[in-house]
Amino acid sequence: MKSGSAYLVNSMVMHVEKWRLNGYTYARGLLVVNGDILRGLDECVVSLGVRFWHVPRSQNKQADKLANAALDRVVHEQFTVDDIFD
């Protein structure tokens, strides 16, 4: 899975195995920020065999454009093919 979020990729590639073993807590016993979300994602990732890699923002302009457009739109409005491939 490609992502422009270094936080997400680092969490799922470098840290999740330790968090899984520690009940989604850090070594000092504090809960992992967004641990409930990351735990759910981890369960899906494991069952599907997904791998993550980071895509730098400079190579991810179309995805940024789509994400920002989605945030700006009314909930019920749909994307068109032209929105995706313009």
**DSSP single-letter state for residue 11:** I
pLDDT at 69: 80
Q: Is pLDDT above 60 for 74?
A: no
Tell me if 40 sits within 8 A of 46, measured CB to CB.
Answer: no
Instruction: Supply the pTM of this predicted model.
Output: 0.60
| CA atoms of 24 and 16, how far apart (whole Å) | 8
Classify burial at 57, counting beta carbons within 10 Å of its beta carbon; exposed 0-12, middle 13-18, buried 19 or more. exposed
Tell me if 39 sits within 8 A of 24, measured CB to CB.
Answer: yes
Q: Is pLDDT above 70 for 64?
A: yes
